Structures are given as C-alpha cells and as structure tokens.
Amino acid sequence: MLSLYQLRAFLEFARLGSVQEAADALVVSQPAVSAALAGLQRAIGVKLTERDGRGIRLTEAGKAFELSGRRILAMLEDAQRNAREIAVAAEGRLRIAAVTTAAEHLVPRMLQRFRLSQPHIGVELDVGNHVAVWDRLRHWEVDLVVAGRPPQELPLRTLATRAHELIVIAPGGDAFPLLSLGAATWLVREPGSGTRSNTEECFAALGIDPPRLSIASNGAISACVRAGLGYSLVSRDAVANDLEAGVLREIETPVTPLNRQWHLIAARDREVPAAVHRFVTFAIEQCAFAVAPEDRVD
C-alpha cells in the first residue's frame, strides 16, 4: 500500500526532475527519496521511472500518475482544511495565484484591505504567467486566480470581473524623439504572458511587425521605457503614477486603449471554499469588482 510520503516524494521528483533536488526540497536524504520511489512503484506494480543516461525520468505511466497524484494531494489538503474550518469557524486559508501584472499592481492593495477585514483568514499568494496559474488552479493547488480571461477549454468559472485598460507608453519629456509605431523597438513580456498575447494582437491590428525585446517583468519594462529603450503595451494601472509624473507618456493609436477585464476565477469542478466566497464578496463591495454574468442569480 502506498504512503503519503511516497506520493510527496514522487511528486517532488516529477516537479524538479532530480532525486537530489527532491530530497533537498523535502529536507531528507537522497537515498530516502530513492527508496520512496522504489516502494511506490512496487505498491502500484508498474514502472513510473526509467534510466535516462546518468539520471532517471518519468515513464508514460509515471506522467499519467503525476497528473492524478497532484489532484489527490490537493484533495487531501482540502479535506484537512475543511475539517479545521468546521471545527473553528473563524479559521480559514485563501490560496491565490495571480498573473504578474495583477500581482504587482492590483492584488497587494486588495489583500492589505482584506486582511484588515478578515484577520483570521491566512492568505498565500503565488505569482506566475497565464500558463502557470491555470495549471495550478486546474490541479486544485490554489483556490482562486486573479488574471485576464480564462481559457474556455478548461473547467473554470469566473466569479467576478473588474475593467482595466491596456495602453501604449513611451518615454516622457523631450530627451527621446518619438518614433513611428512600426520603427520603434517594443518591449514585450515573455511567451505565455497574457500581456504578450495582447501586444501581438495589437501589432496585427496595427499592421506592424516591429523589433521586439522580451523582458519578463512589468517593473523592468516600465524602467526600460523610461530609459528610452522603446515602447510597450501595459496596464494603465501599472503606470498611473509615472504618467502623472511625466516620466512616461501615453501614445495614442487607432486600436488603443484596449479594454480588458480582471477576472476572479475558481475551478468549476470543485466546490468554492468559504474563504473564496468571503474574498469575492469583499472584492465586489470594496474593490470595484462586479458579479460575473455567468455567476449572477436573478
């Protein structure tokens, strides 16, 4: 019979791709992880790993087991949390994943005010691009995602939305001459970012294919635009202070501002935890969010 420790050891190995790194993450010895992997495979009766040169890798069966194992572990943590919440009504935990732009410019203020109103709810915040946050929500490893529009092919549910704009920015002042949209270098987020997808859509609508410089940080992009390295498409919320100070300027284009929405998103195939309900209610009452049309009861 497999043990919870064996499952945790396997999932850490699958995540990190190394027995030694999995051992470091679990704060145990490398032989302990190797023994756990061997014991798990004996309990299941199939090979989950195989030799790959000097290391080991997952078999196809191992990859399939990882997908189920992640959900099993999340369900176990859910059961433990639900039991604690029933035993102590004021206790709770809210696990949020947010895309980088939201994590840097929207979520911190929301969490600060939420913690004041709900001090007994513990909050965990994970930051990643769209690919990462959907993956964590799909496997129930977080309770709520703050991001743009979710992919339709996944079993996700938008609970509330808030409008925001994407605008084109350039350096402020007279130190840097303005260039045409097609001639300027554009500073773009990494592949997988929602803002990167919006930027490529903007290029297509404008009929341009400008030089691109990929930067994996909104703060770094704003700093590089201020330094005169190029233009960028960003959330107005992210640069409001710089626009007011004049160190950045908004460039008007035929297709901007792009009107987009922030979404508060939960897994459709899972009951929404009580802490999520409290956070969404708070966001609607105090942070300019509105109940999503699909979630409204008339």
Q: Is 151 helix (H, G, I), strand (E, B) or coil?
A: coil
pLDDT score, position 89: 44
pLDDT score, position 81: 75
Give the other-Cβ count within 10 Å of 42's Cβ: 11
Q: What is the pLDDT of residues 109-152, one digit of tens each?
A: 999 999 999 888 889 999 998 889 999 999 989 999 999 989 98
Q: Which two tokens stand for residue 189?
A: 């987020």
Classified by CATH at the fold level, domain 90-163+261-295 comes out as: D-Maltodextrin-Binding Protein; domain 2 (3.40.190)
pLDDT score, position 134: 94
* pLDDT tier for residue 167 given thresholds of 50, 70 and 90: very high
**How high is the mean pLDDT of the chain?**
89
Q: What is the pLDDT of residues 22-71, one digit of tens each?
A: 899 889 999 999 998 998 889 888 898 888 888 888 999 989 999 888 88
Packing angle of the helix pair 30-44, 4-16 (nearest 10 deg) = 110
Q: Is 177 helix (H, G, I), strand (E, B) or coil?
A: coil
* CATH 3.40.190.10 residue window(s) in the chain: 90-163+261-295, 164-259
114 contact partners, CB below 8 Å, separation of at least 6: 121, 123, 279, 282
Q: Thinking of the domain 164-259, which architecture would CATH place it in?
A: 3-Layer(aba) Sandwich (3.40)
26 contact partners, CB below 8 Å, separation of at least 6: 8, 9, 12, 32, 33
Residue with tokens 């939305």: 161
What is the maximum alpha-carbon separation in the chain?
Answer: 71
Q: What is the pLDDT of residues 244-255, one digit of tens each?
A: 999 999 999 999
Helix then strand then coil, % of the chain, to nearest 5 = 45, 25, 30
Cα–Cα distance, 296 to 286 (Å, whole number): 18
Residue 228 is which amino acid?
A: G
* CATH 1.10.10.10 residue window(s) in the chain: 4-71
Q: What is the pLDDT of residues 172-199, one digit of tens each?
A: 988 888 889 999 999 999 887 888 989 9
Q: How does DSSP classify residue 252? A: P
Classified by CATH at the fold level, domain 4-71 comes out as: Arc Repressor Mutant, subunit A (1.10.10)
